[in-house]
Amino acid sequence: MITGASVGLGLAIARELLANTQFHLILTARAQSMARFAEQGLVEGPRVWLRALEVTSAQEREAVIAEIEQRFGALDVLINNAGIAYRCVVEHVDSDERQAQMDVNFLAPMELIRRVLPAMRAQRSGRILSISSVGGMMAMPTMAVYSASKFALEGSCEALWYEVRPWSIHVTLVQPGFIHSDGFTKVRMTRESQFSAQHEEDPYHEHYASMEPFIGRVMQHTPATPESVARTVRRTICRRRPPLRVTATWDALFFSLLRRFMPRTLYHRFLYWKLPNVKKWGWPPGGSPG
C-alpha cells in the first residue's frame, strides 16, 4: 500500500513496483486527487486497487486497512509517502499550521503503522517504509516545521525498528534529498511567511528571498529524479534484510557523511556560511553589516 500515490514520488514508486514486482498494489490518494490516476493511465485491475484515503482521517484509514486485511489477511508492505511541506521560519508559523504539518507527515504515518502492525505480527513478517528526507537528518532555515515533522518520524521509526524485529518486521526510512521535479512550487506558505516574502521591509524577507530561488535551482539541476528514488525504494523492499536508513540521492549521502565525520560545531558554522546571501540576513534593505 502506497499513500500519496497519485503524483510525484508516490506515482513513480507505484509505476516502478507495478513494472518490476508481482505485488498487488493498493494505491491511495485524497478523494479530490483520485482523477489523477486515470490521467496517468493507472486503472484498477487484477493487481491494482485504487482507494481514496485522507491519511489524517481515522475513519478512512480504518476503512481502507480493514478492506485490505479482509481480502489479504495482512499488508506485506506499507509505504508512508504522503506528505506536505510548509516554508516558514519558526516565528511565522501558528499552532494550527504547525499541527497540520505534523498531522500529515508524522501523526498519520504513525497511526497507519499502529493499525497494520497487529496483522503483520500475526503473520510474523512485514515491511514498513516511510519516506523521510534530508530534512529529517538536518534542518534548513525557512523549513523548520517540515524538519520537525521528519525528525519526529525518524525518531519514532528508529524506536520501532527495535520493537518489531522479534516478529521479522523490517522498518526502513528512505531519505531522499533534492529531486529534479517541480515539488518546490507546491510548498505551502503560512500567512506570515507569504507576507514576509512579498515585503522587503519585513525582518525575514531576505531569508525567503534567498532560500526559495536557491532551492529551486538545486532541484532543477540535481541528477536525482522521482524514478531513480523509486528504484531505490523497490530495491529496498526486495532486500532480505533492509537497513533502518537508506539514502536515496547523492546529496543525502553527502550530508550524512558530513554529519558523521565533521565536528558538530564546525559543521553548523560551515553550513551557515554556505547559506545563500547570508551576509544580508538581518539587515534592512540597503543596509549592510557594520
Torsion of CA 55, 60, 63, 68, to 10 degrees: -20
Q: Which pLDDT tens digit goes with each residue over 203-228?
A: 999 999 999 999 989 988 899 999 99
Question: Would you please indicate which residues are annotated as catalytic (active-site) residues?
Answer: 132, 146, 150
Predicted confidence at residue 285, as pLDDT, reads 64
| Total-model pTM | 0.94
Q: Residues of 33-45 as b/e, b for ≥16 C-beta within 10 angstroms?
A: ebeebeeeebeee
Looking at residue 220, its pLDDT comes to: 87
Conformation bin of residue 226: beta by default, left when phi > 0, alpha when psi is -120 to 50: alpha
**List of residues 6+ apart from 282 with CB closer than 8 A:** 203, 206
Q: What is the mean pLDDT of residues 237-265?
A: 96
SS3 assignment, position 73: coil
Average pLDDT, the chain: 95
Grid coordinates given for 90: 519558526
Q: Please tell me whether residue 106 adopts helix, strand or coil conformation.
A: helix
Asked if 235 and 174 count as a contact pair (C-beta separation under 8 A), the reply is: no
283 has a pLDDT exceeding 90: no
* Region 37-42 average pLDDT: 96
Q: What is the pLDDT of residue 156?
A: 98
What is d(CA 61, CA 227) in angstroms, rounded to the nearest whole number? 27
CB 115 within 8 A of CB 181: no
Q: Judge whether residue 272 has pLDDT over 70.
A: yes
CATH topology of domain 8-191+211-249: Rossmann fold (3.40.50)
Domain residue spans of the chain: 8-191+211-249
Write the CB contacts of 266 (distance below 8 Å, at least 6 apart in sequence): none
pLDDT of residue 290: 41
At residue 288 the predicted structure's pLDDT band, cuts being 50, 70 and 90, is low
